[in-house]
Structure 1
Amino acid sequence: MASLQRSSLPLLASLALTLILAVGIVASTNAEDEQVAVGRVEPADLQDEEVQKAVDFAVKTYNDMNNDLYISKPIKVMSASQQVVAGKNFYLKIELGRTICSKAQSDFTDCPFNEQQNEQKRVTCNFKIYSVSWENKMSMTSFNCPRA
């Protein structure tokens, strides 16, 4: 009986080692996939409510920060992507146009774009918005509006 246990011991040890290595490879592969997915910048769905909130926040903050007397609003969201971090980063490229509504007005829902040739102001801006939805917090990390 003792000799049977001694001859089985190397076999059991090699089986245990094989099992440990197999589990380790699967676990490390899954961990790598999760790390890539968390930090990866991916296209965002423009219809998604969180993306819409980020667009609205970017435009509102842009209007608050510039010294134009008139409100600008989006003509077109040219691109949107997102990155999961400790919250989410949204990368937005938005074409904005000047409206006829002054910043002194309180209701901007029906503000048409300014159609007068010398008063039109269109600009394309890149925004990085950081959102922590479970804390109901949003901030503009950076933005730029390069001249064409």
Structure 2
Amino acid sequence: MACLLYTQLFLLNTFILFLNLSLNPVLGQILAGIEKSIIEEEGALEALNFAVSEYNENNSDLYLSRVVEVKTVKTVQQKTEAGKTLLFDVILGKTACLKTQDDLSDCPLNEPTDLREREFCSFEVLLPDLANAINLLSSICNRI
């Protein structure tokens, strides 16, 4: 009985391995042109700061939000003269600073439990090669 179970598990594992190897080229074509990057990549931090600044400017919340955690950074490899596109997935948290305050450089996160609202945001930012301005192409945020 145990031998039959081991044989079935072996065949199932072999089938899964075969499926994985056969689908790999398809997945490679779908994801072609997107590669993982790091926040330390040239211009990435500047692009993320711009995206968060735009987010804060365009939402109706009274409090400033800031990045709590960077989940992923990806670069879209395009052959364009406009520059490169960076994709960010980040967690934003509300700070204790009102947007109307003069000094927003050192804003701590709100600590009371009921005020600790977090949002998962995806930003698509065009980082130009030349001296053009950074452009936020899209942003999607959802409360978590």
Structure 1 length normalisation: TM-score?
Answer: 0.69
Distance (whole Å) between structure 1 residues aligned to residue 64 and residue 50 of structure 2: 14
Output the amino acid matched with 1:138: I
Structure 1 residues 107, 143: CA separation in 2 closer, same or farther (over 3 Å shift)?
same
**Structure 1 residue 147, shift from structure 2 partner:** 4.0
Q: Does the alignment pair 1:128 with 2:121?
A: no
User: Which residues of 2 match residues 1-148 of structure 1 at below 5 A?
Assistant: 40-85=33-78, 86=80, 87-148=83-144
* Dislocated runs of 4+, deviation >3 Å: none
Distance (whole Å) between structure 2 residues aligned to residue 118 and residue 144 of structure 1: 23
Corresponding position of 2:6: none
Distance (whole Å) between structure 1 residues aligned to residue 42 and residue 33 of structure 2: 20
| Structure 1 counterpart SS, 2:111 | coil
Instruction: Report the RMSD for the aligned CA atoms in angstroms.
Output: 1.7
In terms of fraction of residues, the more helix-rich structure is 1
Distance (whole Å) between structure 1 residues aligned to residue 43 and residue 135 of structure 2: 13
**Structure 1 residue 114, shift from structure 2 partner:** 0.2
Distance (whole Å) between structure 2 residues aligned to residue 144 and residue 104 of structure 1: 24
Distance (whole Å) between structure 1 residues aligned to residue 119 and residue 138 of structure 2: 16
| Structure 2 counterpart SS, 1:63 | helix
**Structure 1 residue 63, shift from structure 2 partner:** 0.3
**Structure 1 residue 57, shift from structure 2 partner:** 0.7
Identity of aligned residues (%): 32
Structure 2 length normalisation: TM-score?
Answer: 0.71
Aligned residues: 111
Q: 1:74-124 CA deviation, whole Å, 9 max, x = no partner?
A: 001100001233211110001000000000013222100001122221101
Q: Which runs of 5+ in 1 are unaligned?
A: 1-35
Distance (whole Å) between structure 2 residues aligned to residue 133 and residue 114 of structure 1: 37
